[in-house]
Amino acid sequence: MMHLTRRNFLKTTGTLALAAQAPQLIAQIAGDRPQRADGVTVLNPRDRVPVSLIIDDSTCLVNLAHFCIPHFAEVFPDRYKQRWQDLPREIPDSFVREFGEWCAERGVRGKYSIVPYPACVGWVDRDIPGWSKRALDDSLKLVRTLMMPNWDIHPEMVTHTWVIDTKTGRPYPERSDRFMENWRWTDGKSVDQLADYLSYALRILKNVDLPCEGITTPGGFGNRVLPQLSQATLESCRAVFKAEIPHYFRHLYTDERSVAPRVEYASGLDTNDPRCAVSIIGCTGDWFGGWDGLERGSVDQFITADFKGGRLPEVIARGEPAIMVCHWAGIYFNGEKVGFNIFKQIVERLHARYDNLMWMKLSEIARYWAAKELTRIEKTQNGFRLHAPFASPLFTMRFKSRTKSPPKLVVEGKPVLLKEVKTARELMGNTWAQSNETLTICFDLPKGPSEVAV
């Protein structure tokens, strides 16, 4: 790994150690997969590479680094010796607005955590001591109006530090890593136990009108119970928010491993109740400013000035989602905005170098990958018959064909004409392009049956 974070450290130590002992415990189950006709390929949406930004450790007003470090130091005094008092206690809404407006102007999309009970300081659905109720309400309104259109909202568990007893709403009295969300509490927990805890966090955000289709794990949460974590995400997000395609962020890889989303526990694909969970995988470390605002990052780790080096060109060249990972305290970086300025340079370089990127929220990536992997495609005399358990905008498929007349999308017996564009780079909804012996179409895939007639 190029940069050691809490998430990376726990992933590379606890998970690998457990894998050596009992690899079956961390093996995820893909579940059902449909038939797929030969000669047809489902591409990325609009034949572009998804790109996104995951923001961890964010919440309303509270700078989690300031309040989390003393909790971590209570359990690991040799590991956390920095003066947390020197870190700002607040990340102000003025910065949230500046960041959110800059991103909206450039089409940037991603995930923004709201920790429900940040470091036990206060509840986002009640009060946060040190701030007025008006300040909290205004902060929540800013998240709803400015962030939510372009960012998924996730709980990052309940406190990000001490584990809460869901029956009392209070932290357990034991002060050890066994009762910290970031460390060992999830060890040995069942699907039901994890779903209860996730649901508790989700309900707090539901109380303040922040809908969620997924969750983010703090630190090492769930590392040793990955199958149970995936299933608990599926159960809790469906139960609390009726999310059709729950997703979660647990992993990031900065080596040669694939960072394509994993569609897990798929079932009921031909029923009225299809199910799956999607694991979203980050492709970078936090090379912005770190979770504690102590280590300045570098734009060149993401993409160099000549556009040839850095992690992002590697991933984009593979056609896999280029999902960056950061922590909110590092984007703000003690008010110096170091991480924010690095992100600005990354976006400028990406937009200068590439014309085939597509900014997407994690829920949009999860939905597309679920449709990409779980849609049944059968060959017919005049084209293809599709059956999709999940609808998806901008569904893009390529197959061998030469035609002088436009292909048709047939939904519920009614044809939908598709408009021809010159190249695949121009694909939008309900368009098609032809190149040599292949035909590429892009359309809004409906749930259920549809046909492509050539």
Is residue 42, in this structure, part of any structural domain at all? Answer: no
Is residue 287, in this structure, part of any structural domain at all? Answer: yes
Domain interval for residue 386:
375-453
What is the model's pLDDT at position 435? 87
Contact 282, 324 (CB under 8 A): yes
Same-domain pairing of 356 and 443: no
Same-domain pairing of 364 and 398: no
What is the model's pLDDT at position 87? 93
Instruction: Over range 423-438, report the average pLDDT.
Output: 92
pLDDT higher than threshold 60 for residue 346: yes
pLDDT higher than threshold 70 for residue 190: yes
Cα–Cα dist 167/156, whole Å? 19
Is residue 346, in this structure, part of any structural domain at all? Answer: yes
Domain end: 320, 341, 368, which one? 368
pLDDT band at 27 (very low <50, low <70, confident <90, very high): low
Three-state SS sequence of 141-177 = HHHHHHHCCCEEEECCCCCCCECEECCCCEECCCCCH
Same-domain pairing of 411 and 437: yes
Same-domain pairing of 349 and 441: no
Same-domain pairing of 266 and 400: no
Rounded to 5 degrees, φ, ψ at 164 are -95, 135
Is residue 338, in this structure, part of any structural domain at all? Answer: yes
State the residue for tokens 């370089």: 349
Same-domain pairing of 282 and 331: yes
Same-domain pairing of 385 and 354: no
| pTM for the full predicted model | 0.93
Residue 172's CB is within 10 A of a number of other CB atoms, namely 15
Instruction: Over range 25-32, report the average pLDDT.
Output: 73
Contact 418, 428 (CB under 8 A): no
Instruction: Over range 248-257, report the average pLDDT.
Output: 96
CATH number at residue 166: 3.20.20.370
Same-domain pairing of 318 and 356: yes
pLDDT higher than threshold 80 for residue 86: yes
Is residue 190, in this structure, part of any structural domain at all? Answer: yes
Instruction: Please write the tens of the pLDDT for every residue from 70-81.
Output: 999 999 999 998
Same-domain pairing of 68 and 104: yes
Instruction: Over range 259-282, report the average pLDDT.
Output: 97
- The C-alpha R_g of the chain, in whole angstroms, comes to 22
When the pLDDT of each residue in the chain is averaged and rounded to a whole number, the result is 92
Instruction: Please write the tens of the pLDDT for every residue from 294-329.
Output: 889 999 999 999 999 999 999 999 999 999 999 999
Domain end: 368, 401, 422, which one? 368
Q: Is 169 left (phi over 0), alpha (psi -120 to 50) or beta?
A: left
**Computed from CA positions of residues 5, 198, 151, 443, in that sequence, does the dihedral angle turn out positive or negative?**
positive
Is residue 201, in this structure, part of any structural domain at all? Answer: yes
How many domains would you assign to the chain?
Answer: 2
Domain end: 320, 340, 368, which one? 368
Residue 145's CB is within 10 A of a number of other CB atoms, namely 10
Stated length of the chain: 454
Same-domain pairing of 20 and 68: yes
Residue 354 CB-density burial (10 A; 0-12 exposed, 13-18 middle, 19+ buried): middle
pLDDT band at 26 (very low <50, low <70, confident <90, very high): very low
Three-state SS sequence of the chain = CCCCCHHHHHHHHHHHHHHHHCHHHCCCCCECCCCECCCEEECCHHHCEEEEEEEECCCCCECHHHHHHHHHHHHCCCCCCCCHHHCCCECCHHHHHHHHHHHHHCCCCEEEECCCCHHHCCCCCCCCCCCCHHHHHHHHHHHHHHHCCCEEEECCCCCCCECEECCCCEECCCCCHHHECCCCCCCCCCHHHHHHHHHHHHHHHHHCCCCCCEEECCCCCCCCCHHHHHHHHHHHHHHHHCCCCCEEEEEECCCCCCCCCEEEEEECCCCCCCEEEEEEEECCCCCCCCCCCCCCCCHHHCCCCCCCCCHHHHHHHHCCCEEEEEEHHHHHHHHCCHHHHHHHHHHHHHHHHCCCEEECCHHHHHHHHHHHHHCEEEECCCEEEEEECCCEEEEEEEEECCCCCCCEEEECCEEEECEECCCHHHCCCCEEEEECCEEEEEEEECCEEEEEEC
pLDDT over 90, % of the chain: 86
Same-domain pairing of 278 and 341: yes
Is residue 40, in this structure, part of any structural domain at all? Answer: no
Rounded to 5 degrees, φ, ψ at 204 are -65, -45
Is residue 169, in this structure, part of any structural domain at all? Answer: yes
What is the model's pLDDT at position 10? 42
Same-domain pairing of 349 and 445: no
Q: Is 394 left (phi over 0), alpha (psi -120 to 50) or beta?
A: left
